[in-house]
Amino acid sequence: MYLIAMLPSCNYCTHYYYFYYRDHHIPRACAYGIEPLVDKLVQCGANVNACNSFGYSCMLEACHRGYIVVARSLLKGPVDLSYIPREEESLNSPFASAPCQSALAEAARCGFFKVVQVLRMRCSSCSC
């Protein structure tokens, strides 16, 4: 919580390091379900489509773990729900089964049906 309190206001976020920090750490915050940090980063304009070293997007990380609040926070930004990671990037993933599928499909595969409902409401017109 200290880190969240120490983030500068969104109007002050113009320094290069802040932009790097913001976009570099949002995938990790999503993967660990740090809801207040994800929400603050999204409010400050973080790239909600940023990926980790395995090519997994923020939304895919949240859906794999069933973090519905994180998923809702990400939906406040221009998230790409049709994104599918490349197989060659995800081969060394710690996931039991590398998810070369969309975030919606991953939430369904993992049994997080409330997350599926939230995403389906958002992407009813897309081909996720």
Domains in the chain with CATH codes: 2-122 (1.25.40.20)
Neighbours of 105 (CB within 10 A): 17
Output the CA torsion sign for 96, 81, 127, 125. Answer: positive
> What's the pLDDT score for residue 25?
83
* Tens digit of each residue's pLDDT, the chain (128 residues): 555 555 555 444 444 444 445 567 899 999 999 999 999 889 888 899 999 888 899 999 999 999 999 999 999 999 999 999 888 777 777 666 655 789 999 999 899 999 999 999 887 655 55
Q: Which amino acid is at 30?
A: C
pTM of the model: 0.79
